[in-house]
Structure 1
């Protein structure tokens, strides 16, 4: 028996570590893992390590506190397995946990019931009618609605647009907002993405200005630079901002890449593309400069500065 006790007590310590790693990790969502770890502790308690049920009961109370008041609808099988384990731990000697467990149960019933009632009431009052749904979501378009603040705002916008079209109208049209300025101040975007957007803003402006100076309006390079600035970059940023804020930078989307990683890679590709446009325009301008250099060398390079009569005419 002493040999068995010598093995059981260290094994109980290891089993407690396993129990904690199961409860407070992703495996805590699997009822099979919770049941196995609890059964191992109960077996060791029967073999002589009765003390292990007390720390295990404390861990279960922490598990209930961190899980039962969150997304319990998705984890109820694991919670049920933990509740059964709690009952067995109380039978094995941890009867003291019945009081905190009962208090937590009452709090859970109150909060969960209140939450369900609130959701049901909100769903009933906030459900949009078919006419209010956008057409792409299955709604119906019956023309502009004449009531409410939204309709009044639409009427004011329409009236302003009509005045702008009237000949002789002096209504000033405000300049369109630059999305790059808004993105640089948007805290939803990662810091490195905002730095990349600053670089893209400057380089695309530089490329377009340089191409216009070379008289390459309408060229393929000018079209590509404008598409990067006005289409490709906004599409990448808009797709990232549509991701859930609590998941965009942590949950992988493809392989081990999160939305933050994919945005950074796409902006890097666009930066390389703009740099390629600038390099190509530099080479074109460089060829023109080299041609002029060769002309000057051919025209004046063989002339002796001390014999101006040797200058070619």
Structure 2
């Protein structure tokens, strides 16, 4: 008798929850969150918990998805996804212990193929590639400080793409500036790995490029004239989506401003209290007693 039998009437809820957990696991590992250790570990823990509670079958589809996850993340430039891959390997061990022992065979051969294809050597060759790359000159934007260039710089390319409408390119230029500014502010406030940083990177590296690529797939002669939904053309829909992203990044900036402003306000209150007391004390020391007569 397993734990699922002991739970009695709650057993069927575990099975239903397992179905939703599979969807959650797939959405996590194949999204940008799949590059992080916390994201993969959290989704895998849900699978393991439900398997222990009685839905033992859930580890098998999850194990199959792990193979797809390793295939999509490990081959090529795997270094950005290294934390997620480590969490995936730990999840594979747990899934095998919970019944998906068959996973060891495809995982072994996939690891062998990865090693043969030069997976280990990529980390060693990276410094040479960086040394061979010409230095990148920062671009000066009036009124905006210089920000460190992000790894994914597709937004700069889209700004110069003549296939895009002028208003969309202006929005992309604003997104390029605002996302860099937001990442710089969040990094300065020690919020690396926060939900705000994840959202900002997703806007820059995924949401905005996906919207642009979807627009570019439309026929050029119809993209700006033929209605697609509610009378809106592809151009109108692109501009609308980019405006939503701009609003989202602006919210991140506003929140970062309030967070950083609290420190400045606290320091200002300290200065007012400190020097207000000093001024009062000096006035008391310099006051001439009333009984002293000037001769």
TM-score range, shorter chain: 0.3 to 0.5
Give me the TM-score of the superposition, normalised by structure 1: 0.44
- Kindly name which structure, 1 or 2, has the bigger radius of gyration based on alpha carbons: 1
Give me the TM-score of the superposition, normalised by structure 2: 0.46
Choose between structure 1 and 2 for higher RCO, CA contacts under 8 A separated by at least 6 residues: 2
